[in-house]
Amino acid sequence: MPFDKSDPRSRLGINTGSSETVGFGSTSYVKFYESPPQRSAAGESTWIARGQHFVLTYSELSDEAMLQRQGHSDEYFVLLPDDTAAEVTLDGEATTVPGRSVLIIPPGDSAIRLPAGGRAACVFTTASAPDLADAAGNADVYREDAPNLAPATAWPEPVGGYRLRRYSLDVGPDQNRFGRIWRTRSLMVNYSYPRPGPRDVTKMSPHAHDDFEQGSLVLDGSFVHHIRWPWVTDMRLWREDEHEICAGPSLAMIPAQSIHTSQQVGREINQLVDIFAPPRVDFSEQDGWVLNADEYPMPEGHPR
């Protein structure tokens, strides 16, 4: 039993890493506070990290700075973790949205500005943002494709077509739902609830994913990412356990088939956002877990 019985994920049947494999991918821990930004301009500091199928930017912006994408080929997420409002300009038309939001930006020309300054994180597919993927602080990890991953196939188009979509983070917890989950055709974020103080060490949740990576973005506080590698029949593939402490802001990439769990250790608020590409089928099949499921249909043959 990888989860405490009170954890909604206990119903998923997630494995504990017993599958056979021909090899494992590499972990990477990109600690933005330990390295200079990949992109630095007037009023902007942006750090970049990636997985196989997604790329993350984390930006600290002045009131004059602007994050822009020209002719972007698909949707992307913008995470606004603080109360700071944002001005979103799409094809020349500006809209103001409140802070503490998750945004989905449609394809095309877009610009994000924080009139009062602040921080924003964006999540793109690597296919739509190869320029960012190549600039990532952990780009070397992905010079060769990571093993054991399912292909990044886009799901059906959103109901009503592409448009700016905004979701408030002020969603109350539900004992039958895990976190706060939103998806696009190609991406999924699980914006966990803030976790005050250290985690109860008697309620850890070690588990593994057969065919997808997990990106864990620390926005606030500190986490220890515990990684263990299954003892497969080929002993040459065995590895030592990893116990990497990552404060915010940082991104940890957790490979498919590795046994993992994250332990918050900060004394105040610890905030984690998990990123998946493509969207997780198991989360999507749970009634009520994906908060915008009515806008983004699952592939044909799935009930939700």
pLDDT along the chain (304 residues), means of 10: 66 56 90 98 96 98 97 98 97 96 98 98 98 98 97 97 98 96 98 97 96 98 97 94 98 98 98 98 96 96 67
Q: Tell me: the pLDDT tens digits for 19-75?
A: 456 789 999 999 999 999 999 998 999 999 999 999 999 999 999 999 999 999 999
pLDDT at 88: 98
How many Cα atoms within 13 Å fall on the side-chain side of residue 10? 11
Start-to-end C-alpha separation, the chain:
26
Q: Under CATH, domain 8-284 is a member of which superfamily?
A: Jelly Rolls (2.60.120.10)
Q: What tokens appear for 79 in the block? A: 């995470």
Domain ranges across the chain? 8-284
Strands, DSSP E only, in 198-241?
214-220, 222-228
Q: Are strands 118-125 and 54-61 parallel, antiparallel or unpaired?
A: antiparallel
pLDDT at 3: 56
